[in-house]
Amino acid sequence: MMDDAALCRLSARAARAAIRSGEITALALVRACLGRIAERDKEVRAWISLNPEAEAEAAAISADDPRPLAGIPIAIKDMIATRDLPTSYNSPLFGGHHTGADAACVATLRAAGAIILGKTDTTEFAACGRDAATGNPADPDRTPGGSSAGSAAAVADFHVPLALGTQTGGSTIRPASFCGDVALKPSWGLISTEGVGRYAVSFDTVGLIARAVEDLALLAEVYALPASPSLPGRRLRLGITRTPFAALLEPETRALFDALPERLAPVAEVAPFALPDGFEEADDLHRCVQMCEGANAFLHLARSRRALLHRDFHDRVEMKMGFAPQDQFAARDRLAALRMALERALQPVDAIIAPSAPGFAPLGRAPGNPKFNALWTAVQVPVLGLPVSGTDLPLGLSLIAPRGADRRLLEIAARLAPAL
């Protein structure tokens, strides 16, 4: 029988296989995860609440349960509604708030047999205001990244094998890079956001966080992400871009990208990738739409519950961020044109590689710079964050493909992971 330390380190797929074979029980797995949380969370502070019924739910899972996630514990970002646990959005406005219903993405997990272990800390409303209290497992003085801070840290520190986050700018992929996780920001619209706290509906996306590509593939099956044509057996054709913001890269990321062609040579042909003309505007256009939609999203709280709403949100509602409401319409039109131009440019390659963050996680609790993420979120394409080895602290890169090619990214990531 495995000890608790080994149980906590199992991938979700390996844990499912062990439960099915009778090597372990779902109850033993959940107890091991809860023990790890008890041991580590005073330092990491990933969790807002834990499910008091988790052990009872796990005890009811039999070895012959056919569901794809039967007995697998999972963390849920505290922006996502759960019927039996509070959903606070890290806001004093919603302390102890119960929605009484699951978000659609949580209901899908329960139907697949997952054990909702608890809720994880987040930047306030996954936007601004209060930072999460969570520390980076690799160095608690550093941020785990935001806004999916607790979810990324909980997976990286072996509290759970899987977690849900969200992304409106870079809130899944950047924390994954800072913590050393694998993560998928799916194509916009493929996973329902019903029951998820909304900020900018043009971009809000449920994010998937794991420690293994095979586990992201498992979640892709659970969420019925569309199939992609299988890649041919030839070597991969990959483009590399440092984005229009290359000047912001830290030395560790520059060194990684300098070494990538040689590092990936056994499995891929790698060449520089030229982004379409005008793509340097994508971050500003994203910010315009995000701020305008965010102003709409928080108007009711600014008017009805003014005292407890953080000043950052009042500034957005009052349009102090440099945009007028009319600006969003032209910005959306321009983003649509850039989206189509990018997908045309992507046709000759299997995917492109870009930085996931400027560099290592910075000190403090701030979410981190989203510039290397927001441009992809703005054009609604899937992004897969993949960690690399051989660095002093966790560091990741992003794989990008056209909309709907999420499973193709998973296949590419599986091929690249051994070289990275």
Give residue-wise pLDDT tens across range 76-106: 999 999 999 999 999 999 998 999 999 999 9
Range of the domain at 257: 1-273+333-419
Across residues 199-216, what is the average pLDDT? 98
Average pLDDT, integer, range 262-280: 97
Please pick, among 11, 49, 77, 151, the residue that the annotation labels catalytic.
Answer: 77
Query: Could you tell me if residue 295 is inside a domain?
Result: no
Whether 314 is in a domain gets the answer no
8 Å CB contact between 239 and 272: yes
Domain with 108 in it: what CATH number? 3.90.1300.10
Is 119 one of the annotated active-site residues of the chain? no
Asked if the model's pLDDT at residue 1 lies above 80, the reply is no
Contact 46, 33 (CB under 8 A): no
Q: State the pLDDT confidence band at 32, using cuts at 50, 70 and 90.
A: very high
Q: Are 228 and 407 spatial neighbours (Cβ–Cβ below 8 Å)?
A: yes
pLDDT confidence of residue 189: 98
In this structure, is residue 288 part of a structural domain?
no
Helices and strands in the chain: count of H runs, count of E runs: 14, 11
Domain for residue 404, yes or no? Answer: yes
**Domain presence at residue 312:** no
Q: Identify the CA nearest to 199 among candidates 78, 79, 329.
A: 79
Per-residue pLDDT, 218: 98
- Fill in the amino acid letter for 351: A
Cβ atoms of residues 60 and 28 within 8 Å: no
Q: Could you tell me the pTM of the whole model? A: 0.98
- Smallest CA-to-CA distance from 378 within 291, 320, 295 is with 291
Beta strands, E only, 217-280: 236-240, 268-272
**CA-CA distance, 133 to 122, in Å (whole number)?**
8
- 11, 49, 91, 147: the active-site residue: 147
> Quick one: tokens of 59?
């005890």
pLDDT at 320: 81
Give the tens place of pLDDT for each residue, 352-410.
999 999 999 999 999 999 999 999 999 999 999 999 999 999 999 999 999 999 999 99
What pLDDT, in 10s, does the model give residues 147-162?
999 999 999 999 999 9
Q: How does strand 162-167 pair with strand 205-210?
A: antiparallel
Specify the pLDDT at position 74: 98
Q: Looking at the chain, how many residues does it have? A: 420
User: Percent of the chain having pLDDT more than 90?
Assistant: 95
38 pLDDT higher than 90: yes
Q: What is the mean pLDDT of residues 291-297?
A: 95
pLDDT digits (tens, 9 = 90+) for 309-356: 999 999 989 988 789 999 999 999 999 999 999 999 999 999 999 999
Domain assignment present for residue 305? The answer is no
What is the average per-residue pLDDT within 255-274?
97
Q: How many CA atoms lie within 13 A of 44 on its CB side?
A: 28
Other C-beta atoms closer than 10 Å to the C-beta of 76 total 30
State residue 105's pLDDT score. Answer: 98
pLDDT at 228: 86
The number of folded domains in the chain is 1
Residue 369 resides in a domain: yes
Where residue 188 falls (left for φ over 0; alpha for ψ -120 to 50; beta otherwise) is beta
| Average pLDDT of the residues of the chain | 97
**Residue 52 burial by Cβ neighbours in a 10 Å radius (0-12, 13-18, 19+):** exposed
**Which of these is catalytic: 88, 148, 171, 202?**
171
309 inside domain: no
CA 193 from centroid of its chain's CA atoms: 14
What pLDDT does residue 229 have? Answer: 85
- Identify the pLDDT of residue 232: 81
- HSE-CB at 69 with a 13 A cutoff on CA atoms is 28
Active site residue 171: yes
Residue 147 bears catalytic tag: yes
